[in-house]
Amino acid sequence: MTPVITAFAASPDKGRGLARDMRVRWAFEEVGRPYEVRLVSFAEMKQPAHRALHPFGQIPTFEEGGLALFETGAIVLRIAESRPGLLPADPDQRSRAIQWMFAALNTVEPPIVEREAAGYAERDRPWHAERLPMMDERVTKRLADLSARLGDAEWLDGEFSAGDLMMATVLLRIKGSTLLEAQPNLAAYLARAEARPAYRRAFEAQRAVFLKAQGG
Closest contact distance (angstroms) between CB of 96 and ligand GTB is 21
* Interface with ligand GTB (CB under 6 A): 12-13, 18-20, 45, 57-59, 71-72
Specify the residue, 19 or 150, whose C-beta has the smaller distance to ligand GTB: 19
Specify the residue, 11 or 161, whose C-beta has the smaller distance to ligand GTB: 11
Which amino acid belongs to residue 36?
A: E
Specify the residue, 57 or 158, whose C-beta has the smaller distance to ligand GTB: 57
Closest contact distance (angstroms) between CB of 39 and ligand GTB is 12
Q: Which residues contact 133 (CB under 8 A, 6 or more apart)?
A: none
Specify the residue, 5 or 143, whose C-beta has the smaller distance to ligand GTB: 5
Closest contact distance (angstroms) between CB of 151 and ligand GTB is 28
- Tell me the CA distances in angstroms from 115 to 37, 78, 140, one per residue in order: 30, 29, 11
Specify the residue, 18 or 37, whose C-beta has the smaller distance to ligand GTB: 18
